[in-house]
Amino acid sequence: MPDPLLRRFGPEAMDDWLRAAYRETRALQESKGGDATFYEVGANAPELLEWYVKGFYGSVFYGGRVDIRIKELLRYRLSMTHGCAYCNKGNIEAARRAGLADEQLDAVMDETNDAFSGRERAVLRLAAEMALTNMEGRLTPALYEDLSAHFDDAEIFQLGMVAAVLTGMAKFLFVYDLVEREAHCPVGPRTGSGE
């Protein structure tokens, strides 16, 4: 379980919209093992949570130029790579709702799998370049060519920005100990009190 150093707030101290998001996450926790730590700590700066939930997710992730199915594939690949147990629990369900098949979800770490179209393979390759675990990642001419066969430059830019925000948020969630991690998470848990 997460054990953040920052102060946590209960729902009684939250704005109405934040309290609703918190309660939704608590319900997920009871049914699928989600965790509301992010909202409890985020209540320290509710305007930042509002930007993340309404601005990034509301306008960019669930809006924008690229269809949601592709962005869900990108997000699930990143969360599986990063080892965010909290993210994986929600992202797999969101990916299914967006139309990804279980065969694709099972193979998400293998962009060469026949379960994926050329368009999907290009996005999975982009995710591999954007991941925390790939500090040498690059949008190479070959990857750009593959992406360009399916997306225009504005869509490629949006995919990169979405991946960047998700990757940066993963690092933030791990460093601040706000989420449960998978065993393979590249950012380990805090190991001592005086470090």
pLDDT in tens, 49-69: 999 999 999 999 999 999 999
Q: Is 162 exposed, middle or buried (0-12, 13-18, 19+ CB in 10 A)?
A: buried
* Helices assigned H by DSSP within the chain: 16-32, 37-42, 46-50, 68-82, 85-97, 102-106, 118-130, 141-148, 153-175
CB 79 within 8 A of CB 91: yes
pLDDT level of residue 33 (50, 70, 90 thresholds): low
CA–CA distance, 78 with 65 (Å, rounded to integer): 20
Q: What is the DSSP string of 109-133?
A: T-TTSTTS-HHHHHHHHHHHHHSTT
Evaluate if residue 163 carries a pLDDT over 90. Answer: yes
Q: Give the highest mean pLDDT range of 22-26, 49-53, 97-101.
A: 97-101
pLDDT level of residue 24 (50, 70, 90 thresholds): confident
pLDDT level of residue 190 (50, 70, 90 thresholds): low
Give helix 85-97 / helix 153-175 axis angle, nearest 10°.
Answer: 150
pLDDT level of residue 32 (50, 70, 90 thresholds): low
pLDDT recorded at residue 178: 93
Structure-model confidence comparison of residues 190 and 167, the more confident one: 167
pLDDT recorded at residue 192: 53
Q: Give the highest mean pLDDT range of 118-122, 174-178, 185-189.
A: 118-122
0.95 surpassed by pTM: no
Evaluate if residue 113 carries a pLDDT over 90. Answer: yes
Evaluate if residue 149 carries a pLDDT over 60. Answer: yes
pLDDT recorded at residue 86: 85
Q: Two tokens at 45?
A: 């700066």
pLDDT recorded at residue 118: 98
